[in-house]
Structure 1
Amino acid sequence: MFMQQSKWIILIIIIACQLIVVLDSSIMVTALPQIGRSLHMTATSLTWVQNAYILPFGGFLLLGARAGDLMGRRRMLSVGIGLFSLASMLAGLAPTAEFLLVSRAFQGFAAALATPAALALLSASFVEAKERAKAIAMYSAVAGGGGSVGLLLGGFFTDFISWRVGMFINVPIGIALLYLVQRFIQQTGTRTGRFDLWGAIVSVIGMTALVYGFVQAADRGWGEPETWISLAAGIVLLVAFVFIESRAAEPIVPLRLFANRQRSGAYLGRFLLVCGTFSLFFFIPQYLQNVLAFSSLEAGLAFLPFTVAQFGMMYLIPGLVQRYGNRKVLIAGLLLCIMGTLWLSRIVSVQAQFFPQMFILLAIIGIGAGMAIQPLTVLGLSDVDPQDNGAASGLINVAHHSGSSLGLAVLITVFEAAIGSDQSSKMQFAHAVSDSVLGSVVFATLALVAAWFCFVPSRQPARKQTLTDS
């Protein structure tokens, strides 16, 4: 009985750790207008408040996963939580925009150390199929819906205290988690090996260059040399990353993980889905505040339908998967996301009313995302050899957070192209948000295509075919 209780305490610790790192990808969104005024940041530079956190988070996840394999997952979880708490305090104290962005990057690096260790500990703690499915459902609900909770908390702190509280609150939570980790999680084994530091550095710089290129395109135009040089450098570096991984003795991304079509499809599908859904968290709150005159808190509360729907699916997904299989549930969820987001793009305007249409559509999108995230998590971990658990867990999170940063970078160019020079016009702002949301539909549709072609039954051994439909 004690062992059973201990496992669920471990799950609570893992979920709490995942929640604070996911919250911090969105907790600043509803505070962006206030941050811009207090630290003298332009609209385009404010995107780096998000990307300064997300890029190192996604880029160093694989190195964090490797560090957990070599140095012990409990140790890396503790180190990550400790550094995350310190970085959060520094971000809350930031006197300048530059200091804030560096602190946010430090936060992202710390989160990259903690997150893969947490997911690998979940996989190791819940081995029995039904328990594991329930645990992954809860984890997936937090991973997918935690961003909207961040919007709500960020709005509350911004309206009633200060945006800085959204950073300070991580400190006592981090201290409590450090105690619980030491109390309830046993130290995992270590093994000898080498860090693929070059691979990690090249991947981070490559992804940052790619995102920077898109942001420069939004800010200065596609014709500027800086835009094309940055985009070309990003592509070259990411190709170099694949070459490095193919030659490394102990790569952070074992390329054999992509030999399984289901896993490859899960990584690609998650990347594309998050490209679309995360961008909603950036554009819709800005629309609600700048066009419909919502307060920061009201803009955060507006995402409750999404949050409640996605968390609610946590209880239904295991039964749906057991009855229909991961692939059918995934495709149904993606279809709901596409339909809800497409309809949302059509009603965004100066005359729009939040209730009931936007309310209902955000709930539909939340249901769809909730149906899609858990199957993508399960399929991303399917048939993974024990020595690759950390790398596979890291890749799931890399796909998630790389999608967040690249999707936002791409769609900010759509927004800037649509809004033109008259950025004070509410009508133009609404039109630009509508176009950006339509871009989210494109990403969700591409995720559906990836799911359709990568998860169709293939001529594989019977055991792997069963995993496809289970």
Structure 2
Amino acid sequence: MPYSYEKRWAGLGALCLAMSIITLDNTVLDVALPSISNDLSASMSELQWIVDIYILFFASILITIGALGDQFGRKRFLKIGIVLFSLASLGAGLSTSTAELILFRSLSGFGAAFIMPSTLSIITHMFTDSDERMKAIGLWSMIFGLSQGFGPLIGGFIIEYTSWHWVFFINLPIGLIAFVYASWVLPESHNKNAKADLVGMLLCVIFLFALTYGIIEAGVKSLSDATVQISLIIGLTVCALFIFWERRCSHAMIPFELFKKRTFTIPSFAIALIVFGMVGSMFFFSQLFQTVQGYSALQAGLLLMPMTLGVAIGSKISPNALKAYGMPLSIGGGIIISALGMVLFVFTITIHMPLWAILVGFLIQGFGMGLSMPPSTHSIMSSIPKEKAGVGSALNDTTIELSAAMSIAILGSYVNHIYLLHVKEIEAEPSLLKALQNSIQSAHQAIASLPNVAAHDHLLTLVNQAFIDGMYHTMIVGCLLSILSGSLAIWLLPNNAQEPKQ
């Protein structure tokens, strides 16, 4: 029996640990954003960039790194990624300005691009039995969701007892353990027949970088901005050239026939939507809890924990649900259930939002995510030829990261737009008004310095309500989109995913 098969479950543990560094990092950061804003005087757009620059670099090179990993060794690329990510985390933790932090966050995204596609592609090679693979992917998905959910709690502990710098330093011991563990237990795998598609790789990096940058800037600015338009035009043009080249290249790195399979495209869209909702929720609710409602960072992390519990429960029962109800209901139903959590938020969100609504809403949202993510991931990976596992995994990961980027950029700009519409109606001195418009954290700091207590309370109510109104309208859009997408998944998906080609 080959080495990779004997230690496949231990190997899964190493892959989940390596993957958790990436997912934990972003959600730990969410709780730290108010502290970073206060310490570094970061505006709302700078907070978006601290999150999104990571995604920009991550998403733009994922497919290329996935293809190179298929050729030169997936385990090798995983270990390179762990080292790069850990060093970048060290730099981020030592940052003393938003510019430095944004720089090291971009380098973290570069390292993460080596890690993420390697995890699923190695799982596909280690687990040859379909039922075992489904269980392995279910565990991978559960760890993905749990690390996302535990991030705010860990971040809350860190902010409560140390400083925001330690949300990055925590990656160093985890990275060291993951590197040693992966070196010991994981087998190396690669496609010996792979050839480097250098032209395709270059075009892929350019068009993904340009499109991702355009999406993010459109959220910060608008679609009418010249920079945004130029970036999107370049991205779409190079994307067309990329497709033209790949369809004619004898050793193309992307199997375009995958996009003809409903078992690949629809679950990819489903996962993107799940991530869209999760990332957006954590980004805004962490600020709502700490800045508007006055909870500590630790308390904010605890309030987000029901999402983690929901993900764990949903992921646990997901394999049985898939067998009992089929793929369409498992994926589409999970998305709709997740949307019901947001529906509860729509009807209950206020400055003094009831605790029961927060806990129940996140529990329902997490349960839907946990229910739909494992069958979605299994369907995607089962649609991919094994020799293209790295590229296929990277395509899936790219969809996830672009969705996260759009969540922060689009939802962030929408909330900020509504917030600014309300704030601009406030009668105040120009210097105070500028501080109110900068961010909700900046507004609270400026108001706290006012000598007039009566004006203090009145202004706090106005800016808090402006922020909540932005979240309210954003969640309505998210609910409608999720319910529609879940319904389409139920309608369009075949009942069973096909097995991967050998």
TM-score over 0.5 (shorter chain): yes
Deviation by residue 1:360-402 (Cα, 9 ceiling, x = unmatched): 1110011001111111101111232222222111111111111
Q: Which residue of 1 aligns with 2:37?
A: 36
Question: What is the Cα deviation at residue 343 of structure 1?
Answer: 2.0
Q: Which residue of 1 aligns with 2:408?
A: 408
Contact 1:28 1:49 in 2 (8 A): no
Unaligned runs of 5+ in 1: 458-463
Q: Find out whether 1:426 has 2:428 as its counterpart.
A: no
Contact 1:58 1:402 in 2 (8 A): yes
Q: Which residue of 1 aligns with 2:182?
A: 181
Distance 1:465 1:149 in 2: 31
CA gap of 1:465–1:229, structure 2 versus 1, over 3 A, is closer
Distance 1:41 1:165 in 2: 18
Deviation by residue 1:325-347 (Cα, 9 ceiling, x = unmatched): 22211122111112221221221
- The structure 1 residue matched to 2:219, chosen from 204, 208, 215, is 215
Distance 1:387 1:417 in 2: 46
Unaligned runs of 5+ in 2: 424-435, 437-442, 444-462
Distance 1:125 1:456 in 2: 26
Kindly provide the amino acid, as one letter, of the partner of residue 91 in structure 1.
Answer: A
Question: What is the Cα deviation at residue 233 of structure 1?
Answer: 4.2
Contact 1:84 1:110 in 2 (8 A): yes
Q: Find out whether 1:375 has 2:375 as its counterpart.
A: yes
The worse-fitting range, judged by mean Cα deviation, of 364-373 and 406-415 is 406-415
Kindly provide the amino acid, as one letter, of the partner of residue 209 in structure 1.
Answer: Y
Q: Which residue of 2 aligns with 1:198?
A: 202
Question: What is the Cα deviation at residue 254 of structure 1?
Answer: 2.2
Distance 1:274 1:244 in 2: 31
Kindly provide the amino acid, as one letter, of the partner of residue 406 in structure 1.
Answer: M
Kindly provide the amino acid, as one letter, of the partner of residue 370 in structure 1.
Answer: G
Question: What is the Cα deviation at residue 162 of structure 1?
Answer: 1.2
Distance 1:446 1:65 in 2: 32
Contact 1:89 1:168 in 2 (8 A): yes
CA gap of 1:223–1:79, structure 2 versus 1, over 3 A, is closer
- TM-score under structure 2 normalisation? 0.85
Distance 2:497 2:181 in 1: 40
Distance 1:341 1:255 in 2: 35
Question: What is the Cα deviation at residue 227 of structure 1?
Answer: 4.3
- TM-score under structure 1 normalisation? 0.91
Q: Which residue of 2 aligns with 1:461?
A: none
Q: Find out whether 1:277 has 2:278 as its counterpart.
A: yes
Q: Find out whether 1:390 has 2:390 as its counterpart.
A: yes
Distance 1:30 1:251 in 2: 42
Deviation by residue 1:137-192 (Cα, 9 ceiling, x = unmatched): 11111223422222221222122111111111111221221111121112224535
Percent identical among aligned pairs is 24
Deviation by residue 1:388-443 (Cα, 9 ceiling, x = unmatched): 22211111111111111112211112102211252541111111111222232244
CA gap of 1:200–1:99, structure 2 versus 1, over 3 A, is farther
Question: What is the Cα deviation at residue 124 of structure 1?
Answer: 1.1
Distance 1:361 1:343 in 2: 6
Kindly provide the amino acid, as one letter, of the partner of residue 195 in structure 2.
Answer: G
Q: Which residue of 2 aligns with 1:440?
A: 478
Contact 1:138 1:314 in 2 (8 A): yes
Question: What is the Cα deviation at residue 294 of structure 1?
Answer: 1.1
Contact 1:270 1:447 in 2 (8 A): no
Q: Which residue of 2 aligns with 1:311?
A: 312
Distance 2:17 2:73 in 1: 20
CA gap of 1:327–1:60, structure 2 versus 1, over 3 A, is same
SS of match in other structure, 1:51:
helix
SS of match in other structure, 2:295:
coil
Superposed CA RMSD: 2.3
Kindly provide the amino acid, as one letter, of the partner of residue 414 in structure 1.
Answer: Y
Distance 2:209 2:126 in 1: 34
Kindly provide the amino acid, as one letter, of the partner of residue 150 in structure 1.
Answer: G
Kindly provide the amino acid, as one letter, of the partner of residue 215 in structure 1.
Answer: G
CA gap of 1:450–1:350, structure 2 versus 1, over 3 A, is same
Question: What is the Cα deviation at residue 248 of structure 1?
Answer: 4.2
Deviation by residue 1:116-141 (Cα, 9 ceiling, x = unmatched): 11111111111222221111111111
CA gap of 1:115–1:428, structure 2 versus 1, over 3 A, is same
Contact 1:68 1:76 in 2 (8 A): yes
Distance 2:258 2:393 in 1: 11
Contact 1:292 1:350 in 2 (8 A): yes
CA gap of 1:139–1:466, structure 2 versus 1, over 3 A, is closer
SS of match in other structure, 1:352:
coil
CA gap of 1:236–1:342, structure 2 versus 1, over 3 A, is farther
Kindly provide the amino acid, as one letter, of the partner of residue 420 in structure 2.
Answer: G
Alignment of 1:37-52 (within 5 A): 37-52=38-53
Alignment of 1:141-180 (within 5 A): 141-180=142-181
Kindly provide the amino acid, as one letter, of the partner of residue 43 in structure 2.
Answer: T
Q: Which residue of 1 aligns with 2:102?
A: 101
SS of match in other structure, 2:351:
coil
Contact 2:216 2:406 in 1 (8 A): no
Kindly provide the amino acid, as one letter, of the partner of residue 197 in structure 1.
Answer: M
Contact 1:268 1:450 in 2 (8 A): no
Q: Find out whether 1:298 has 2:299 as its counterpart.
A: yes
Distance 2:258 2:332 in 1: 23
Distance 2:19 2:97 in 1: 28
CA gap of 1:455–1:190, structure 2 versus 1, over 3 A, is closer
